[in-house]
């Protein structure tokens, strides 16, 4: 009998977001590959449920439920997943069965502390908190209250590779933050390197999910503030740049500035709204160019994007803003970094002039540093968690689930 693992995170809470779905799926699929019986559980508030147009909707008729159904069924998780609404309704595995599985589980892997259900969270033998928003999480915790939902966990992992070091200004709050990396299920993300360069792309939310945040007398900015520093890049390099961009109508001035600087803007709901669509968009790109949230940059957090990992796995080189991750990952081939506009311009020249070499290096970086098998085994070894015996290897070149 396979050991049970409970995983929780926001999936239905972010409908129309294929990239976010992959950030959950690669953990689920990775642990399944290592021999676990994975049970995925998500909580949602009734007032967060919307229809296909973003208007308020009843839980059962909502786009959130439809998205949850679609993703879990597509990836063979329909019989091992549940969505719990705060009004008592749910879909998927029954609450009684979830409670039984939680009590059998070796571990709860709790993405952003999402699971707070009083009958489920205490059940597993151990509880891991996974922080994919370094800086936000620790600043919320430092401000008091339970916004970061850190309580009730034994182990804490973060994508902020520099947290706890002298180089990083993010407070630890007395917690031992262990670093990890966003995994990629390589069998789901085959190498699709192209022969010639066409365009840079990325997928982004102009202001991000949380807005600005203040700590220690400083205000930490959003992704928009960083993008504005590099808005002239397409005109300066005469290369094609495209963003599948979620942007509020109130930011029309920024949208006009992007168009004026020759950025192509794509609708993220249409191009990246499902896991398959997101994967197709990345794989049809030549390379990624992206900035990071201001908070990741200004704190020297060492954060690295799970979206960027998908580009690398697809054989797409990346040119991304350095948050301090260059202390831990190889850069210069396949993974190029910048901090200033001039460095970004130089990076564009380097990547496009020798594109095939950088594309080959991109896939190699994904295999050596982000493969789910490696990431999950390293995480487990860090806390002395004995994993099941590794199942036989499966091919890593499939194009679809």
Confidence of residue 206 (pLDDT cuts 50, 70, 90): very high
Question: Distance between CA atoms of 192 and 398, rounded to whole angstroms?
Answer: 11
Nearest to 348 by CA among 338, 357, 359: 338
Domain covering 4-131+372-382: architecture: 3-Layer(aba) Sandwich (3.40)
Provide the pLDDT for residue 96: 97
How far CA 353 is from CA of 35, 134, 197, 329, 386, in Å, comes to 43, 34, 9, 23, 46
pLDDT in tens, 294-319: 999 999 999 999 999 999 999 999 99
Q: What class does CATH assign to 187-367?
A: alpha beta
Rounded Cα distance, 227 and 382, in Å: 36
Ordered by start, the domain boundaries in the chain are 4-131+372-382, 187-367
Give the tens place of pLDDT for each residue, 350-382. 999 999 999 999 999 999 999 999 999 999 999
Q: Which helix (H) or strand (E) holds 6?
A: strand 4-8
The answer, yes or no, to whether residue 208 has pLDDT greater than 90, is no
Answer yes or no: same fold for 4-131+372-382 and 187-367: yes
Model-level pTM?
0.95
């Amino acid at each position: 009998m396979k050991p049970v693992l409970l995983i929780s995170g926001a999936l239905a809470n972010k409908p129309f977001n294929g990239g976010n779905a992959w950030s959950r799926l690669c953990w689920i699929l990775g642990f399944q590959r290592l021999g676990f019986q994975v049970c995925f559980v998500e909580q949602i508030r009734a007032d967060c449920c919307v229809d296909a147009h973003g208007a308020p909707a009843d839980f059962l008729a909502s786009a959130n439920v439809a998205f949850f159904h679609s993703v879990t069924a597509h990836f063979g998780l329909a019989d091992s997943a549940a969505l719990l609404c705060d009004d008592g309704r749910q879909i998927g595995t029954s609450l009684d069965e979830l409670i039984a599985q939680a009590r059998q589980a070796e571990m709860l892997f709790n993405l952003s502390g999402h699971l707070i259900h009083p009958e489920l969270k205490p059940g597993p033998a151990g509880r891991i908190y996974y922080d994919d928003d370094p800086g936000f999480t620790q600043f919320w915790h430092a401000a008091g209250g339970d916004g970061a939902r850190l309580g009730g966990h034994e182990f804490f992992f973060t994508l902020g590779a520099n947290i706890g070091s002298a180089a990083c200004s993010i407070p630890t709050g007395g917690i031992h933050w262990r670093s990890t990396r966003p995994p990629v299920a390589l069998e789901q993300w085959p190498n699709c390197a192209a022969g010639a360069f066409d365009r840079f792309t990325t997928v982004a939310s102009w202001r991000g999910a949380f807005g600005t945040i203040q700590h220690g007398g400083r205000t930490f900015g959003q992704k928009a503030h960083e993008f504005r520093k590099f808005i002239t890049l397409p005109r300066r390099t005469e290369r094609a740049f495209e963003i599948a961009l979620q942007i509020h109508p109130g930011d029309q001035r920024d949208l006009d500035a992007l168009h004026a600087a020759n950025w192509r803007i794509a609708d993220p709901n249409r191009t990246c709204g499902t896991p398959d669509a997101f994967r197709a968009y990345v794989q049809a790109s030549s390379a990624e160019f992206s900035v990071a949230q201001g908070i990741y940059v200004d704190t020297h957090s060492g954060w690295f994007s799970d979206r960027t990992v998908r580009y690398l796995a697809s054989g797409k080189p990346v040119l991304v803003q350095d948050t301090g991750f260059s202390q831990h990952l190889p850069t210069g081939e396949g993974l190029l970094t910048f901090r200033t506009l001039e460095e970004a311009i130089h990076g564009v020249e380097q990547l496009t002039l020798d594109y095939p070499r950088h594309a080959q290096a991109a896939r190699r970086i994904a295999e050596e540093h982000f493969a789910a098998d490696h990431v999950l085994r390293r995480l487990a070894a860090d806390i002395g968690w004995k994993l099941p015996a590794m199942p036989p290897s499966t091919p890593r070149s499939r194009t679809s689930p």
